[in-house]
Amino acid sequence: MKKKILHCSMLFALCSLLLLSACSNDKAKQPLKMPPVPVTVGTVIQKPVPVQLRAIGNVEAYSTVGIKAQVGGTLMRVHFKEGQDVNKGDLLFTIDPRFYEAMLKQSEANLARDSAQLEHARVEVRRYEDLVKKGYVAQEQYDQIRTNFAALEATVNADKAAVENAQLLLKYCYIYSPVTGRTGGLISYEGNLIKANADTSMVVINQVQPIYVTFSVPEHDLAEIKKYMAMDKIKVQAVINNDAANPVEGVVTFVDNTVDTATGTIKLKATFDNREKRLWPGLFVNITMVLTTLPNAIVVPSQAVQTGQQGQFVFIVKEGAAELRPVETGIIHDDMTVIEKGLAPGEQVVTDGQIRLMPGAKVEIKGSGLTTETQRHGGK
């Protein structure tokens, strides 16, 4: 009896084990349901996008003039202060004019004396001309009178030139600004003895309105630059100290005639009105050159574009799941990438969370608390 009870217990235990094993196998065969991947999305839009080139530029004065004296003498007066704005024609320096005033008076006196002698010689020529015709005087005597007249006439012409030269030297005692600009540090001071055409300038004036910005671009961009310059003026923006909200605007006015073979770049200049005088000679600025504008470009946030072994791609959200879409990209502008092929306006692209995605994976848009599948069914 005991043996029969033990046998039944063992048989029951074996059946229980077989039943548990069968249940475990059924659970293992059931597929695991993966939770949706949380992502952020952006919308594919269509808008105008400027085609730009960027570079570092250096501000240069529109013109730089070193002021030098053309006559020597004592510097009597300086008519401006260092760093002052001056206009074209403003008086800058006065050199002691007394020596040149005396020289002018002497030249004028010589001219007056020789002019009087010339007038007397002219009367003599007319008088002797009648006498020689009547035979009262010899021809040789008349010829001598004519020679004296010609010599005095040449002397008077030389005296006139001397007067003009003295007037010019006297004028050089007063030095005027040849341009409108900003004066630099003063090198010659009142009381200094000034040498004519000295090696050192008395002051340097920089013209800052308008003003140049010089920058270089890669040589492979030259063809595009020349193409758009032939159509219209190319606009340029200069950003000072990363103040992108307040750029200074100008236009490209110069393209160098030689490519720098050492760097593979070509030098350009842009001209700025600089009405507010924000640009200053020697300043470095960030240059943005706008070649043209793509009127209907398709763009996505740049972080949506990924790179794989087959090229660039994006994940789009379609019917609650992620779909991998190969794309061809163009230029990048303000954290937006132009898509030349592969997307249409209005599609949603994944901008964050791509690392956990695979084609067909269910997604949940961050911030909504709902999967895209649930959103399509009204949150039910």
CB 371 within 8 A of CB 364: yes
Peptide bond into 210 cis (omega under 30): yes
Give the pLDDT confidence of 23-32 residue by residue, as tens digits.
444 444 445 5
What token pair was written down for 361?
């994976």
Q: Which of 7-21, 49-63, 156-170, 180-194 has the lowest mean pLDDT?
A: 7-21
pLDDT of residue 373: 39
The pLDDT, as a whole number, for residue 242 is 83
Question: Do 71 and 221 meet the contact criterion of CB atoms below 8 Å apart?
Answer: no
Work out the end-to-end distance of the chain between its first and last CA atoms, rounded to an integer number of angstroms: 63
Residues 6+ apart with CB under 8 A from 268: 214, 215, 216, 217, 225, 252, 254, 255, 256, 289
Residue type, 183: T
For 356-370, give the secondary structure using H, E and C: HCCCCCEEEECCCCC
Q: 339 forms bridges with which residues in the sheet?
A: 329
Helix (H) or strand (E) holding 17: helix 2-29
pLDDT, greater one: 303 or 142: 303
What is the structure's pLDDT at 380? 38
State residue 365's pLDDT score: 87
Q: What is the mean pLDDT of residues 5-23?
A: 48
Instruction: Give the model's pLDDT for residue 367.
Output: 58
Q: How many whole angstroms separate alpha carbon 54 and alpha carbon 286?
A: 7
Q: What is the pLDDT of residue 15?
A: 47
CA distance 67 to 75: 13
Cα 324 to Cα 315: distance, rounded to the nearest angstrom: 5
- pTM of the predicted protein model: 0.69
* The Cα angle at residue 57 between residues 290 and 232, in degrees rounded to 5: 30
Where is pLDDT greater, at 13 or 132? Answer: 132
CA distances in angstroms from 236 to 54, 291, 303, listed in the order given: 10, 9, 28
Top pLDDT among 241 and 370 is at 241
% of the chain beyond a pLDDT of 90 = 64
Q: What is the CA radius of gyration of the chain?
A: 46
Question: What confidence score (pLDDT) does residue 245 get?
Answer: 86
What single string gives the DSSP state of each residue in 160-223? HHHHHHHHHHHHTTEEE-SS-EEE----S-TTPEEPTT-SS-SEEEEEEEEEEEEEEEEGGGHH
Q: Quick one: pLDDT at residue 372?
A: 40
List, in sequence order, every residue forming a beta bridge with 46; answer none if it has no partner. 298
In our burial notation (b when 16+ CB lie closer than 10 A, e otherwise), range 108-134 reads: bebbeebbeebeebeeebeebeeebee
Check if the beta carbon of residue 197 is closer than 8 Å to that of residue 70. Answer: yes
The position carrying tokens 């320096």 is 93
Pull the structure tokens for residue 154: 């040449």
Tell me the average pLDDT across 267-275: 95
For residue 155, give the 3-state DSSP assignment. helix
Query: Tens digit of pLDDT for each residue in 330-357?
Result: 888 888 999 999 999 999 999 998 888 8
Tell me the three state secondary structure of residue 22.
Answer: helix
Asked if 118 and 152 touch (Cβ cutoff 8 Å), the reply is: yes
Residue 377 pLDDT: 37
Q: Who contacts 157 (Cβ-Cβ below 8 Å, separation ≥6)? A: none
Q: How would you classify residue 311: left for phi > 0, otherwise alpha for psi between -120 and 50, otherwise beta?
A: left
Task: Give the pLDDT mean for 272-285.
Answer: 94
Per-residue model confidence as pLDDT tens digits over 93-134: 999 999 999 999 999 999 999 999 999 989 888 887 878 777
Helix, strand, coil percentages, rounded to 5, for the chain? 30, 40, 30
- For residue 371, what is the DSSP state? B
Domains along the chain with CATH numbers = 37-49+296-376 (2.40.420.20), 52-62+210-294 (2.40.30.170), 69-94+178-200 (2.40.50.100), 97-172 (1.10.287.470)
Exposure string for 224-233, b = 16+ CB within 10 A, e = fewer: ebeebbeeee
pLDDT tens sequence across 134-143: 777 788 887 8
pLDDT band at 378 (very low <50, low <70, confident <90, very high): very low
Asked whether the predicted pLDDT for residue 238 surpasses 70, the reply is yes
Cβ–Cβ < 8 Å for 95, 196: no
196-205 confidence digits (pLDDT tens): 999 999 999 9
| Greater model confidence, 365 or 172 | 172
